[in-house]
Amino acid sequence: MTQPVLSVRDLSVSFASDTRTVHAVDHLSYDLHAGEVLAVVGESGCGKSVTSMAVMGLLPSTAHVTGSVRLGERELAGADDRAYGRIRGKDIAMIFQEPMTSLNPVLTVGRQIGEVLRRHQGLSKKQARARAVELLGLVGIPAPAQRVDEYPHQLSGGMRQRVMIAIAVACDPTVLIADEPTTALDVTVQAGILDVLKSLRERLGTAIVLITHDLGVVADIADRVLVMYAGRPVEQAPVDELFAAPRHPYTRGLLSAVLRPGTPKERLPEIPGLVPSLDAQPDACTFAPRCARADDTCTGGRPGFKAVSADAGADAAHHAACWHPHTLQETAS
């Protein structure tokens, strides 16, 4: 297999205050390959955004980050703002959930797209404007030559999200991180945004990390899925295999809940029990209090994130952190 374009190894992030330490991400690893879409799913607060902000070097100084983040050959862990300034927006870019807070209300969208191009590609004002029009067309904005001179408040939520995508992909980044890019939008607009992401992947070969609560979106666009629970990775597999044969009890709970009639499709389903506090990093499976299969092994040690290859036919790319993962026979029943 080719070298990953993004490789995250043993990433941990904690936030310490006078009274407590929150372990938001706890030894997370993943690889992303060129042109691949990796979906990251998990309940609210499980560390999806903090992971992405750590990769982008955008966490506040209160965050304590350890582990490795490699973008191609470059190690980003410990990189300073100047080093990040050279790659952010150029080699790796992020789309945030709420475009209105990320766009500058007093600059036209053309100026905002153009700024990235001028900074990283040294384009003149005129060239940057022409390229901004092209990019607005690429992300599906009608009449881009007019829209380029409009301000964010003149655009709908879906159009603003497209502008965010245009800014993010202006310099053809190798990696695009999209943090719930469609959550705030209605269903038809969501479908349009997903089409834009799919065509970027196809036309430019962009590798995408897509954070979403929507398992329908996962099924539609992802190649692989990483499931997180309380800051830890619990399962990772090619998308078809994850849906057909989930091995971790948490993933199985999520997927069986989604198949229950009446479950709203746009949010990740709730499964019984409480998410554990992130104040400690127990040497145990953190899902044990909610798991029907839990035993003394589960509460006595942290399960490793391992290939589930004990069954014949199992895919080596399929990993789970569980002492007693479901067997293939069980997942078929």
Ligand X SMILES: Nc1ncnc2c1ncn2[C@@H]1O[C@H](COP(=O)(O)OP(=O)(O)OP(=O)(O)O)[C@@H](O)[C@H]1O
Q: Footprint of ligand SF4 on this chain (CB under 6 A)?
A: 248-249, 285, 287-288, 291, 293-294, 298, 303, 322-324
Residue 30 touches which of ligand SF4, ligand X, Mg ion, none (Cβ within 5-8 Å per kind) = none
The rounded distance, in Å, linking the Cα atoms of 318 and 45 is 24
Which residues is 178 bridged to in the sheet?
95, 210
212 is an interface residue for Mg ion by CB under 5 A: no
- Give residues 44-63 in contact with Mg ion (rule: CB under 5 A): 49
Question: With binding defined as CB under 6 A, does residue 45 bind ligand X?
Answer: yes
- Residue 201 near ligand X by CB under 6 A: no
47 lines the binding site for ligand X (CB under 6 A): yes
Q: Scanning residues 259 to 278, which ones bind ligand X (CB under 6 A)?
A: 278
Instruction: Output 11 or 135, the one with its CB closest to ligand X.
Output: 11
d(CA 80, CA 61): 12
Separation CA 231–CA 122 (nearest Å): 40
CA atoms of 197 and 166, how far apart (whole Å): 11
Select from 44, 154, 256, 297 the one that contacts ligand X (CB under 6 A): 44
- The total number of residues written for the chain in this structure: 333
Alpha helices in the chain (DSSP H): 48-56, 81-87, 99-102, 109-121, 125-138, 144-147, 157-169, 187-204, 215-221, 239-244, 249-258, 296-300, 328-332
Whole-angstrom distance, CA of residue 248 vs CA of residue 323: 9
Q: How far is the CB of 47 from Mg ion (least distance, A)?
A: 9
Nearer to ligand X among residue 224 and residue 232 (C-beta): 232
Interface stretch with ligand X, choices 44-52, 102-110, 156-164, 319-327 (CB under 6 A): 44-52
Among 13-21, 42-50, 63-71, 290-298, the segment contacting Mg ion (CB under 5 A)? 42-50
3-state helix, strand, coil in the chain (%, to 5): 35, 20, 40
CB of 108 to ligand SF4, least distance (A): 51
- Report the residue number, 52 or 108, with the smaller CB distance to ligand X: 52
Closest listed residue to residue 195, CA positions, set 228, 217, 172: 217
CB of 258 to ligand X, least distance (A): 16
CA distance 38 to 327: 24
Q: Which is nearer to ligand X, 26 or 241 (CB)?
A: 26
* Smallest distance from ligand SF4 to CB 320, Å: 8
The tokens describing 188, both together, are: 């038809």
**Beta carbon nearer to ligand X, 2 or 62:** 62
Applying CB under 6 A, the residues found at the interface with ligand X are 15, 22, 24, 42, 44-50, 60, 62, 278
